[in-house]
Amino acid sequence: MATSRSRSLIEPDGGALVDLVVPETQRPSKAAEAEAMPKLKIGKVDLEWIHVLSEGWASPLRGFMRESEYLQCLHFNFLRLTNGSVVNMSLPIVLSITDADKVAVGSSPNVALIGPRHHDHSIVATLRSVEIYKHNKEERIARTWGTTAHGLPYVEEVIVPAGDWLIGGDLEVLEPIRYNDGLDRYRISPSVLRKEFERRKADAVFAFQLRNPVHNGHALLMNDTRKRLLEMGYQNPVLLLHPLGGFVKADDVPLDVRMEQHSKVLEDGVLDPKTTVLAIFPSPMHYAGPTEVQWHAKARINAGANFYIVGRDPAGMSHPVEKRDLYDPDHGKKVLCMAPGLEKLNILPFKVAAYDTSINKMAYFEPSRAKDFLFISGTKMRSFAKNRENPPDGFMCPGGWEVLVKYYENLQANEAG
């Protein structure tokens, strides 16, 4: 009687991130092979995950999860590798297919993936040695978000319309993923980021994940972090200002506007370009709080970060049905600090910054004189900009604010027109 113990098939990356883009010389032959495979159409968000996987953000994962990885991710938030070591993996990175797709794949070990419209419906990648298994959406949602309430943006957009099967396998991407939206120069792969930090001789890299415009509270925190790292003895701490570039909910500020705003913040000198690298993190957003913040941190480790700034309610949102935060605002930080596979990352807990009316500046909140402070949420900030109201002086640099006002003006003009 053999005692059975499933072993992960994931090999450690040995420090060199997996790179799933086919080398240029092999492209013609790989493309010809792909032509002969059963073909599956993929969506916009699937392509974002292919991008993420191809560059090694999820390294050592080599493709969409097979069932063994999926179950480990869902139940334990980590994967055990062939050498017994552990890597954090908190979000299922999976590809769903329909009943009809499953029939089309049949017993073929390999499939070709056809990109969405803005990729001209061409073959973007292949998935080899595939495994097809059930997509229990309810269980996936419950275990990832800790709720099954209707109205979770990623769930409604991506999971509800998805097929009832998942297909895992080894990914090969025929060409680097490009979006041709003028922002590709900011889409820097984790291995290129690592080289950039080396080139800059950074001895500490601190990452800041964001999906909102940068206000002076954020800036205070980032500048302060740098100062304190210097005090700790680091010679050259570098900031990775790393806005999320994939799927976001409809009322978030779009990526191009945010990138323009971030550039202004650097131009205006609120952040120092000499010690800041601005790049796009290509992942889609789940809004899955404590589960997702682990992914956000893990991916930045792969890009060379060794310090991670975490704030109140990271990756959180309002409960879609009840009038409360979906997550306890402290759980993200707490879970991140205990998460398996992230032991080497230095977690920098965010102090809460708010607008201090006694000095007309963003400053660290002091509970002893709470009445002096104004909390301006993302929603509040967007409503200021929408209504062409100015936020209090010192909330955001004027150049950055102008970008937001212009965006909402255009939006309203388009809606009216």
Question: Which region, judged by CB under 8 A, interacts with a second copy, from 19-27, 146-154, 173-181, 297-305?
Answer: 146-154
Cα–Cα distance, 253 to 211 (Å, whole number): 8
Contact between 293 and 314 (Cβ < 8 Å) = yes
12 contributes a contact to a second copy by CB under 8 A: no
Site for a second copy in 42-71 (CB under 8 A): 67-68, 71
One residue of 320, 329, 340, 399 binding a second copy per CB under 8 A: 340
Nearer Cβ to a second copy (69/196): 69
Question: Which region, judged by CB under 8 A, interacts with a second copy, from 24-32, 97-105, 194-202, 227-235?
Answer: 227-235
Contact between 207 and 225 (Cβ < 8 Å) = no
Site for a second copy in 267-306 (CB under 8 A): 290-291
Distance in Å, CB of 40 to a second copy, minimum: 23
Angle between helix 331-338 and 289-302 (nearest 10):
50
Cα–Cα distance, 375 to 92 (Å, whole number): 34
One residue of 54, 59, 72, 209 binding a second copy per CB under 8 A: 72
Site for a second copy in 75-94 (CB under 8 A): 75-78, 80
Which is nearest to 41 in space by CA: 170, 152, 167?
Answer: 167
Q: Which residues contact 113 (CB under 8 A, 6 or more apart)?
A: 39, 40, 42, 46, 50, 95, 123, 124, 125, 126, 127
Q: Which residues contact 417 (CB under 8 A, 6 or more apart)?
A: none
Nearer Cβ to a second copy (228/369): 228
Cα–Cα distance, 368 to 109 (Å, whole number): 64
One residue of 191, 225, 261, 283 binding a second copy per CB under 8 A: 225
Nearer Cβ to a second copy (89/188): 89
Cα–Cα distance, 189 to 178 (Å, whole number): 12
Site for a second copy in 123-142 (CB under 8 A): 134, 136, 138-139, 142
User: What are the phi and psi torsion angles at 277 (to 5°)?
Assistant: -115, 120
Chain contacts with a second copy (rule: CB under 8 A): 1, 3-6, 8, 67-68, 71-72, 75-78, 80, 134, 136, 138-139, 142-143, 145-149, 225, 228-229, 231-232, 290-291, 307, 327-328, 331, 333-335, 337-340, 346-349
